[in-house]
Amino acid sequence: MRTLAVLMVLGLAWGAATGPGTVQAAGEATVRIASPSALLMEAVSGRVLWEKDADRRASPASVTKLMTLFLAYEALAEGRVSLDDRVVASEAAASLGGTQIWLYPGEEMPFRDILLAVAVGSANDAAVALAEHVAGSEEAFVALMNRRAEELGLGDTRFANCHGLDAEDHYTSTRDVARLSRELVLRFPQVLELTSQYLAYVRQHLGPDHTELANRNRLVRFYPGADGLKTGWTRQAGYCVAVTACREGTRLIVVVMASASRTQRDTDARILLNYGFGNFAAVPAATRGEVVSGVPVRLGVRERVELVAADHFGAVVPRGKQRDVQRVLMIPDYLTAPVRSGSAVGELALYLDGKELGRVALLAGADVPALTWSTLFVKLVRMILR
């Protein structure tokens, strides 16, 4: 079966993606930050552009709530909960300390407001109420958190609760937080509609007695393009942040952990964002499940099958080189039925100056059963009667 390679230069002003050792920014300056652990990632490709001790384990504080939000959006996507659900606050939720919206036992609040209180206000009581509503208990929800962390390959992460207050056997790493942030943003970009808000309100039915939520992520107000994600602080964790910002189609994720102060944390995050936007650009090529191409099918009930990307795919290149990226589509001239949905059919690759930046598998988007004698006869009759 012959392979067709189609080369198309991407004339996009979007920008591109690569990783450590493959991205070289012309005249790049040395990056210095004070925080002990940090990482800069381009979101679409997932490539790391800069890092410092990114695998050290640390207490995540309220950055924990990124997984809480992730599981909440999964439950919404699967129809297990809805934004209009009435969440009833338990004694356990209402008694939790730290940042809160002062839920009282038995209080009912729409799931959408509970979600907002977690995403913007970082409310610990709302996080527990959310967990209990989704999984039946916080313990069951934490089990889901750890299972999902394992499935996502977060090998340096372990959760003991859904809110982030210091606890034994509750830890993560800067790299794992960046990976989780990327998965959250790419799978559920609607989360940014919440995390980008600097001020929000719940209990609005109470009129002037409504509860104001103030976002502790000052970057969403003061850094152009920043629209998420989560800050955290405890005595054990220090000051932490997972921040994402988008400019001209390039989305960056920065994670800073264990800073000595909020000012240091925010300053280091700004330094890394400025470095990323100043030196690199992203070239998105495909999103997970996006139709990239199609292939004719012989002897099938359908004459053509769409090919979809197996994962989010793009590249990062030095700023100014994004127009030089080449798109290489490698697919067969045709397939012969039967074709099974999800089977690997071809690949899409990106190249710059003759060097491969990466590739993604292309999967059959649907089943195409083979023609039977009866379906073949019907098809022949239809062709004759045309």
In the block, tokens 């991205």 appear at 23
The burial of 354, by beta-carbon neighbours within 10 Å (0-12 exposed, 13-18 middle, 19 or more buried), is given as exposed
199 and 313 part of one domain = no
165 and 133 part of one domain = yes
Quick one: pLDDT at residue 366?
96
Dist. CA 11–CA 323, nearest whole Å = 5
Quick one: pLDDT at residue 377?
74
At 233, which CATH number? 3.40.710.10
37 catalytic residue (yes or no): no
CB contact at 8 A, 348 and 359: yes
Q: Which residues pair with 151 in a beta bridge?
A: none
- 318: three-class secondary structure by DSSP: strand
Tell me, yes or no, whether 126 lies in a domain. Answer: yes
Active-site pick, 37, 45, 59, 62: 62
pLDDT surpasses 50 at 20: no
- Which residue would you say has higher pLDDT here, 58 or 97? 58
Tell me, yes or no, whether 215 lies in a domain. Answer: yes
- 36: three-class secondary structure by DSSP: coil
Quick one: pLDDT at residue 154?
98
100 and 198 part of one domain = yes
292 and 193 part of one domain = no
pLDDT surpasses 60 at 315: yes
Half-sphere exposure of 149 (CA within 13 A, CB side): 27
Quick one: pLDDT at residue 13?
29
Task: Give the residue-averaged pLDDT of 21-37.
Answer: 66
66 and 211 part of one domain = yes
355 catalytic residue (yes or no): no
Residue 311 sits in which domain range? 3-15+285-373
Active-site pick, 52, 65, 230, 321: 65
What pTM value is reported for the model? 0.87
At 361, which CATH number? 2.60.410.10
Active-site pick, 35, 37, 45, 122: 122
pLDDT surpasses 80 at 369: yes
CB contact at 8 A, 101 and 211: yes
Q: Give start and end residues of each alpha helix (H) in 95-161.
A: 111-119, 124-135, 138-151
CB contact at 8 A, 302 and 368: yes
- Residue 194 CA to chain centroid, in angstroms? 15
156 and 208 part of one domain = yes
Quick one: pLDDT at residue 207?
86
For residue range 100-154, list pLDDT tens digits in order: 999 999 999 999 999 999 999 999 999 999 999 999 999 999 999 999 999 999 9
The burial of 209, by beta-carbon neighbours within 10 Å (0-12 exposed, 13-18 middle, 19 or more buried), is given as exposed
158 and 85 part of one domain = yes
Question: Which residue, among 218, 200, 73, has the nearest Cα to 148 in the 3D structure?
Answer: 73
Dist. CA 69–CA 188, nearest whole Å = 10
User: What is the DSSP-derived secondary structure letter of residue 44?
Assistant: T
